[in-house]
Amino acid sequence: MKKLDLQTGYTTVQGRIFKIEFWTEAYFGLPFVSVSEVVQKEKTFGIFFKKKKIVDEEIVIGSGWTESSRLQWALNRIDEYLEREAEKNKEFEQIQDFCKKNRERS
């Protein structure tokens, strides 16, 4: 996909960095948006001399074309992503509590 007028911006939400890209698709002229979270991870390079280097990795949250405000669409994707993650963490804590209570009973 050929990208015309590519613009990239970063925003911080709850202490986490998100990358938002806007562009216009060349063939149909559709306005596209891509949202990803930027996570820093330490990676090891080399076979003999293990050098450690901090690398930025992007976790794609969502992308697509939209007729409405592209910025609002991107912020909605970030909000949904954070809500889903909070629900997963809450569910994980409930499972841990359940397992802990069952261990105490036996």
Please state the pTM of the whole predicted model: 0.74
Nearest 5°: phi and psi at 28?
-95, -15
State residue 1's pLDDT score.
61
State residue 20's pLDDT score.
92
Residue type, 78: I
- The model's pLDDT over 77-92, given as tens digits with 9 standing for 90+, comes to 999 999 999 999 899 8
67 — pLDDT class (breaks 50, 70, 90): confident
Of 3-7, 14-18, 46-50, highest mean pLDDT: 14-18
106 — pLDDT class (breaks 50, 70, 90): low
